[in-house]
Amino acid sequence: MNYVSILKKDKTVKGTISLTGSKSICNRALLIRALSGKDFPIYKIAAAQDTQTLIELLESDKIIRDAGPAGTTYRFMTAFLALQDGDQILTGSERMKQRPIGILVDALRRLGANIEYLENDGFPPLKIGSPKSDIGKNNAIDIPAGVSSQYISALLMIAPNLPNGLKLTLTGDIVSLPYIQMTLNLMAHFGVSHRWKGQTIIIEPQDYEAKSFTVEADWSAASYYYSLAAFADDCDLQLNGLFENSVQGDSALVEMTEHFGVKTTFNEAGVHLSKIAQKETTFVYDFLECPDLAQAIAVICGGLGVKGHFSGLKTLKIKETDRVAALYNELKKIGVAFDEQIDGSCKVSGTASSPTHTPSFATYEDHRMAMAFAPISMLIGTVQIEEPMVVGKSYPDFWKDFEGLGFECKFS
């Protein structure tokens, strides 16, 4: 087993980090460029493995295309390939074959896509053939709004290329609305208009415009530095590349982390983090619109002994791993409880303490588990993170950047 031992000998955080581009934004821009059939520059492309995989798959002429563990890439490619001529097989890692795709496939089939399951119904891998001759004749479909927003975004981005456009009705409570808005905002940047009618999004057939685009930095990646700021006695930290008027729902970090004593000041380069007084000893939050922050915030609560009540976690169980179970397993190693309630919410209780032996945190092939638990070493001393290179999925330079802030990272 590979692992990294992490230690921070003081509780001071000082330095400058230039964050990688947001893979959520970058992957959408890349798919839009491919759908447009035109070439235009995309600046500050995310270094994430997921993004590099998407670039390779979009440029590939192979019959079998492997998305590996990249969930966003898999879902976007499913919709993209559904409009292409010829037969392709879209596969992924063993974990990807356990992640549901049926809701998206059903929606695409109703539009006229030709898709078959090669192993288990409702799950990858898929055989995707040329679309039916009447593709898009039926342009009015519905999809449960409580599932991954990536299904919805995939359908929205192919909508302008359908002969009759798309009328997509979202049924039930909408999960991760900021990610849907992100998609629509990016489509608007490239000249595609839409309108809402109740919970129906209407997109007429139209052409994407070729325009240069700059990817803003990743607020999800910023969350791990906000953790450091929360744990620090003294913080003077600049994070470059973040936008104040962000399309990312995870920019909720700014307001959220004030409760943990973190002050955010926007400047021309990004944001500056410093310390203020911690506001409360309890923290209640609905993560429905920013589920990727839940792991980092759970560790912050445990580290500071703040009682947390987290709701809006329904998508966490179908991510790279079951993140609710993973948080329960790993937080208890340092004396913190993460207990799921009957209504699906979770409560955080206890204060992190160093056990008699160095805690070793499993990562479950999940990049966010590795990055969420690394900051706790500032409070409890040396910790180990198993399979540390999993961070490459979204943030390949994570360990290098942590070392630049004075963390000792020893790989074994």
Q: Where are the alpha helices (DSSP H) in 159-293?
A: 177-189, 219-231, 253-256
| Cα gap 319→408, rounded to integer Å | 30
Where in 247-396 does DSSP place strands (E)? 262-266, 270-275, 282-286, 307-311, 337-340, 346-349, 360-361, 383-386
Cα dihedral sign, 226-228-231-232: negative
Which has the closest alpha carbon to 20: 296, 240, 292?
A: 240
How far from 23 is each of 73, 122, 135, 217, 345, CA to CA, in Å?
A: 10, 26, 30, 9, 27
Instruction: Give one DSSP letter per residue of 231-248, joined into a string.
Output: H-SEEEEEEET--SS-S-
119 close to 95: Cβ distance less than 8 angstroms: no
The CB density around residue 349, as the number of other CB atoms within 10 Å, is 17
| Cα gap 347→341, rounded to integer Å | 7
| Cα gap 23→15, rounded to integer Å | 24
| Residues tagged active-site | 292
The CB density around residue 125, as the number of other CB atoms within 10 Å, is 22
Which has the closest alpha carbon to 217: 250, 178, 183, 190?
A: 250
How far from 20 is each of 109, 317, 403, CA to CA, in Å?
A: 36, 26, 16
Token pair listed for 98: 């356990």
Buried b vs exposed e over 89-98: b needs ≥16 C-beta within 10 Å?
bbbbbebbee
227 close to 296: Cβ distance less than 8 angstroms: yes
323 close to 317: Cβ distance less than 8 angstroms: yes
